[in-house]
Chains A and B, each alone.
Chain A
Amino acid sequence: MPAEAWIIGAAMTRFGRYPDLDVIDLAAEATLGALADADASIQDIQMMAVGCLSEAPNMLGQRLAKQIGQTGIPIYNVANACATGATAMRTALMAIKAGEADMALAVGAEQMGKMGLLGNAGRSRPKPAGFTPSGRYGSVMPVEGIIGTQLMPGVFAQVGMEYANDHDGVGFEQFAKVAEKNHAHSALNPLAQYQKPFSLEEVMAAEMVAYPNTLLMCCPTGDGAAGVVLCSDSKLATLDPDVRHRAVKISASVLTSDPYTPSEMADFDVSTLTRQAAALAYEQAGVAPADLDLVELHDCFATAELVHYDNLQLCEPGGAGEFIDRRGPWRDGSTPVNVSGGLLSKGHPIGATGVANVYEVATHLRGEAGDRQIEGARVGLTHVIGLGSACAVHILEKAAS
């Protein structure tokens, strides 16, 4: 077994829109918050991994250090689509496990503004001068919307509809119930971008983006940051009892990429790599799905969350529709899922997400989640997926005090 690693500090900004701040401000707030929470200073940190999809090529980690403390430590700027934050977390963890650092920072941050659902794929099309096949598909023109859709809302809508094709009892209403739940959960989370509950009828009647996902079933864009301070087992033993008492154990950390599957000929397969990551994580942690007290999973769209119930073994195989119908993933259900409000309502500043869900689970395990606390939580799981694809799963446990 590898040496154990611990989370001793965690913080996040409220997710939302911060037009008067820059991404360094957001990252600094989360990082300084995590250091204060760990009763540590930047001088104690021997390595830092900073995830930001838009600013990783622009040395965000070093620009952050220039604001909060330039100590000359190695800084890794990481990007891995929507798994960027979790990849930063895992990069810091690997440095600790490798013995290169006994205390490290993982930070995720993003400032997206109001870029809209479609991101940079929504470019306008110039009139073609002459058709010439180009690219790996020999395309003579942009074919988005002409030969299927490759944009996120449609891709994840089709992920859900494929599950509906393969399993009974799954349809528009089941997907909508996922969003009803996450919006309801977010009303208890002061850090969520939106904190407003919506009825199932309101979710289903909202503007249709890509059937079966309405606007209330798609995550918003937004700004925010999260940070965690990690330390080694041996370092933990030297720390103040108040810090040790609140430490959260990292029982599993897994990152997968998408293995070859025949369906990739047509579309991304977001399930196989998630299933593999989950199976590995449960094995690493010696934890069964039934042991989980809460799960924060990657609900970029309501359709995605439903499919991940099955991928993460939170329901019977094929039983994701029945699971949401019986309110299993509600905060008072058998396995609470996305009690933070999830990406759908807490928000999804891309680089921040994979650290923010670690913050969320750790905060519950410490018994410090306030109104949204899952009472007695001892074991939790976080999951993110970046389309393309990367999947990260972490299992966290309350210290056996």
Chain B
Amino acid sequence: MTMTEAATRGRRIPAVGYLVIDQGDPYLVAQECSSCQAMFFDRRNACARCGGLDFAPKPLGRTGVIRSFTVVRRAAPGVTVPYVSATVALDGGGMVKANLVGIEADPANIQLGGRVKLTTFVAGTDEEGTEAVAFGFTPA
């Protein structure tokens, strides 16, 4: 076993760059435009709203309300169905799309406007044993 393999064994890594898992309770972080406060999850070249070039990380709230959802029953190969995809308006600002987890994937169980909170789960493991941690939301 090389030094690198030893160092990575048992490690956890966020599945996406805008999820922070090593600073206490997991949270999402946006890139906030320093000029107009528009927020983005992706790597930026400039601000899509005002053209500003400066950004600062902005931690987002861990709770919010369901703005929209769908129950997906036909999906890409390798994706377990049914599952619930939802858009959540976060308390304190920002919006994100993620799965609703820990509930039955039945529209009758899901309330538009219902309150949810951030949760994380292991979404995959690579050959070196590193776990990819993804996020979703559960009813609050």
Contact = CB atoms under 8 A, between A and B. Distances in A.
Interface of A: 117-118, 121-125, 127-131, 133, 136-141, 143-151, 153-154, 157-159, 161-162, 164-165, 172, 207-212, 260, 262-267
Nearest to B70: A157
Contacts of A211: 70-73, 107
A131 B132 contact: yes
A165 B112 contact: yes
Interface in B89-136: 94-99, 107, 112-113, 123-124, 126-128, 130, 132, 134-136
Nearest to B130: A131
Given A123-B77, A165-B67, 16 more contacts: A123-B76, A127-B127, A130-B127, A130-B130, A138-B14, A141-B123, A145-B80, A147-B135, A151-B72, A158-B70, A207-B73, A207-B74, A208-B71, A210-B71, A212-B70, A265-B39
B99 A263 contact: no
A139 B112 contact: no
A236 to B, nearest CB: 42
A266 B17 contact: no
B4 to A, nearest CB: 9
A235 to B, nearest CB: 42
A147 B70 contact: no
B95 A262 contact: yes
A138 to B, nearest CB: 2
Interface string B1-16: 0000000100001111
Contacts of B71: 208, 210-211
B99 A146 contact: yes
Contacts, number: 175
Given A117-B74, A147-B16, A165 B113 contact: yes
Given A137-B42, A147-B135, A260-B49, A153 B72 contact: yes
Interface of B: 8, 13-18, 30, 38-43, 48-49, 66-81, 83, 85-88, 94-99, 107, 112-113, 123-124, 126-128, 130, 132, 134-136
Contact of B86 (A141, A148, A150, A164): A148
Contacts of A141: 15, 123-124, 132
Contacts of A146: 15, 79, 99, 123, 134
Contacts of A210: 70-74
B124 A158 contact: no
A129 B127 contact: yes
B135 to A, nearest CB: 7
A122 B81 CA distance: 14
A267 B76 contact: no
A137 B14 CA distance: 11
A147 B6 CA distance: 29
A122 B123 CA distance: 18
Contacts of A121: 76
Of all A-B residue pairs in the complex, the 6 with the closest CB atoms, nearest first, are A138-B17, A145-B79, A157-B70, A148-B97, A162-B68, A211-B71
B72 A260 contact: no
Nearest to A165: B112
Contacts of A263: 87, 95
A133 B43 CA distance: 12
B97 A143 contact: no
B68 A165 contact: yes
B131 to A, nearest CB: 9
A159 B69 CA distance: 9
A124 to B, nearest CB: 5
A232 B128 CA distance: 66
A158 B16 contact: no
A164 B99 contact: no
B91 to A, nearest CB: 15
18 contacts: A122-B76, A124-B78, A125-B77, A131-B132, A140-B14, A145-B99, A147-B135, A148-B86, A148-B97, A149-B85, A151-B72, A153-B72, A154-B85, A165-B113, A210-B71, A265-B40, A266-B87, A266-B96
